[in-house]
């Protein structure tokens, strides 16, 4: 009778699994035995190695080094702009109050956020620190920002400031192993919410004696105060439940990056070798030929030694040129081993690897390498639209974990100092702190087509001026105010001129940059007879 295998519960084991991907017997699956671990079990033991390897890539690989700058340029741009949008209905106010209140807040925020006193170290402003947060997520899996209260700094108008801390310093005190309440330098309460962040007083990699005395000292930073004020901002992208830390952006591509670097280096070295003059002497003499030309083997070896000395003397300190003649030993021939690399398949192969790497970051090949040489308009626009979705996802993350908390902390000081009037601020915190943030614009590939498309969206009611301007990284209120100023200046200039009345409408539309309405008198041409003094035809 055939014996039947049983599983750990005593049930008969099937000879085949229902899913091929779960097979333990298929030849392509038999050696694939990954384990199942929690988010922290899969990440924390490997995190230090992953961060170190990605940083090495960024130091030595041009693509890995350029990608974070591409992210910063498109997520933030020159400035990450605030648009205050308080919920005036919830606050029992009207639109006019909301407009005036927002204008006051935005003006004061702009003064604060563009000042280096925003940084406790006086080195970066708000947008620069936002860029550090983006780079931290890309390179380290996250960023750490500590709000500080330093009201007595000379020259500073605000006590609220922020310090960017390298996330390497976030670790368990005394390098203790992780537990259920302490993981990756974060202490949790019974609900799984962060209670304290343990920050090492100096960087663990300070190996040159800069701050070694503090290397084994930690400072606990509470997550929030008793009344809910944020005291630490841990900016990371959570992808699994129970996750304490995140991995760098290139984690899944480290192997491909390293292999690509080795291939590129080997190909470059081969190309350099092919460009040099390299040759070998090969003897064609068999034992019978040697015996017929030389008395014995010793005479043959002496002859070769003498020839070698002649060649070395000839080449010592000399440069090879097309007129140099190199003597050849009797029976020898000169060969030059040239490699065929890089072959015709090198370019497509490297391009395919770069497409994989770009997909891993969430960017198209064209944006990753900034190469649009073989892309038509439709393909380029499709690629950039997908890239834009990636940038918007990163921007939403940046606003949630960094920009909005920073703004709320600053606004709290402004309200408490009576610089901004906000009755019942703490009871209506969410209503007062509602915002929109504008970063880099999407830009145009074909300005004519895309401007017309924007006009069509506005005319059909499927978009608004606010949306259209925000997509290009502009504040629509600032744009409208500036346009109104320009239109008024055009009107004042024309009214104060001696231009004949019949030309004034046309001149106004031209100077104000407005589209001439149908039926407007624009066909008239100034002639020398009616040209006013000081006006050229």
Give the separation between CA 413 and CA 396, rounded to whole angstroms. 25
User: DSSP characters for 324-364?
Assistant: ------TTEEEE------S-TTHHHHHHHHHHHHHHHHT--
CB atoms within 10 A of CB 151: 11
H/E segment holding residue 199: strand 194-200
Give the separation between CA 411 and CA 415, rounded to whole angstroms. 6
Give the separation between CA 439 and CA 130, rounded to whole angstroms. 11
Q: Tell me the whole-structure pTM to 2 decimals.
A: 0.79
CB atoms within 10 A of CB 165: 20
Which ranges of 165-296 does DSSP label H, i.e. alpha helix? 254-275, 287-293
User: DSSP characters for 122-148?
Assistant: SS--HHHHHHHHHHHHHHHS-EEEEEE
Q: Are 438 and 83 in contact (CB under 8 A)?
A: yes
Sheet with 160-165, strands from edge to edge, namely 160-165, 143-149, 233-235
Query: How large is the greatest C-alpha to C-alpha distance in the chain, in angstroms?
Result: 120
Q: What is the pLDDT along the chain (537 residues), one digit of tens a residue?
A: 556 667 767 777 666 778 888 887 788 888 888 889 999 999 999 999 999 999 999 999 988 999 999 999 999 999 999 999 999 999 999 999 999 999 999 999 999 999 999 999 999 999 999 999 999 999 999 999 999 999 999 999 999 999 999 999 999 999 999 999 999 999 999 999 999 999 999 888 887 656 566 778 999 999 999 888 999 999 999 999 999 999 999 999 998 888 888 888 888 877 776 666 556 666 666 666 665 666 666 676 677 777 677 766 666 655 555 455 566 666 666 666 666 666 667 778 888 888 888 888 899 988 988 888 888 888 888 889 999 999 999 999 999 999 999 999 999 999 999 999 999 999 999 999 999 999 988 887 778 888 888 888 888 888 888 888 878 877 777 888 888 888 888 888 888 888 888 778 888 878 777 777 765 544 444 444 544 444 443
**Residue keyed to tokens 């090492």:** 200
Burial class (CB in 10 A: 0-12, 13-18, 19+), 205: exposed
User: Which long-range contacts (C-beta less than 8 Å, at least 24 apart) are formed by 55-59?
Assistant: 55/139, 57/250, 57/254, 57/257, 57/258, 58/139
List CB contacts of 435: < 8 A, sequence separation 6 or more.
Answer: 82, 83, 84, 85, 404, 407
* Domain parsing of the chain, residue ranges: 39-249, 279-315+327-335, 475-537
Tokens in use for 182?
Answer: 């302490």
């Amino acid at each position: 009778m055939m014996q039947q295998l049983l599983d750990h519960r005593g049930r008969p084991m099937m000879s085949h699994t229902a899913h091929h991907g779960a097979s333990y017997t298929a030849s392509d699956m038999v050696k694939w035995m990954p384990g199942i671990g929690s988010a922290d079990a899969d990440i924390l033991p490997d995190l230090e190695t992953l961060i170190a390897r990605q940083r090495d890539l960024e130091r030595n690989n041009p693509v890995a080094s350029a990608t974070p700058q591409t992210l910063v340029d498109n997520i933030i741009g020159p400035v990450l702009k605030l648009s205050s949008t308080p919920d005036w209905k919830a606050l029992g106010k009207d639109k006019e109050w909301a407009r005036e209140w927002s204008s006051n807040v935005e003006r004061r925020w702009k003064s604060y956020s563009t000042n280096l006193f925003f940084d406790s170290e006086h080195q970066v402003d708000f947008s620069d620190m936002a860029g550090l947060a983006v780079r931290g997520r890309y390179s380290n899996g996250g960023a750490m920002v500590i709000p500080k209260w330093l009201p007595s700094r000379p020259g500073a108008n605000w006590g609220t400031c922020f310090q960017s801390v390298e996330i390497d310093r976030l670790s368990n005190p005394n390098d203790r192993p992780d537990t259920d309440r302490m993981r990756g330098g974060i202490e949790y309460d019974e609900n799984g919410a962060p209670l304290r962040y343990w920050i090492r007083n100096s960087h663990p990699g300070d190996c040159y004696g800069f701050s070694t005395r503090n290397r084994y000292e930690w400072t606990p930073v509470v997550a929030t105060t008793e009344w809910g004020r944020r005291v630490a901002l841990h900016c990371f992208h959570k992808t699994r439940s129970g996750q304490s830390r995140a991995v760098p952006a290139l984690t899944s591509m480290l192997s491909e990056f390293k292999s690509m670097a080795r291939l590129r280096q080997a190909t470059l070295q081969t190309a350099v070798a092919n460009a040099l003059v390299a040759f070998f002497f090969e003897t064609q003499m068999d034992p019978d030929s040697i015996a017929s030309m030389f008395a014995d083997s010793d005479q043959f070896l002496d002859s070769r030694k003498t020839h070698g000395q002649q060649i070395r003397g000839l080449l010592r300190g000399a440069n090879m040129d097309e007129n140099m003649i190199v003597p050849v030993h009797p029976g020898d021939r000169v060969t030059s081993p040239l490699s065929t690399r890089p072959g015709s398949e090198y370019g497509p192969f490297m391009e395919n690897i770069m497409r994989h790497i770009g997909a891993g970051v969430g960017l198209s090949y064209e944006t990753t390498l900034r190469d649009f040489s073989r892309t038509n308009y439709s393909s380029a626009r499709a690629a950039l639209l997908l890239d834009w979705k990636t940038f918007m996802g990163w921007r939403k993350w940046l606003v949630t974990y960094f920009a909005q908390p920073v703004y709320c902390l600053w606004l709290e000081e402004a309200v408490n100092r009576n610089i901004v009037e906000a009755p019942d601020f703490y009871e209506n915190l969410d209503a007062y702190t509602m915002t929109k943030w504008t970063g880099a614009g999407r830009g145009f590939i074909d300005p004519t087509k895309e401007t017309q498309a924007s006009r069509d969206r506005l005319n059909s009611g499927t978009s608004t001026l606010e949306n259209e301007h925000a997509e290009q990284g502009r504040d629509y209120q600032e744009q409208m105010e500036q346009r109104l100023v320009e239109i008024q200046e055009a009107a004042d200039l024309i009214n104060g001129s001696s231009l004949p009345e019949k030309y004034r409408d046309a001149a106004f539309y031209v100077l104000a940059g407005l589209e001439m309405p149908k039926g407007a008198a624009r066909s008239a041409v100034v002639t020398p007879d009616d040209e006013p003094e000081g006006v050229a035809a």
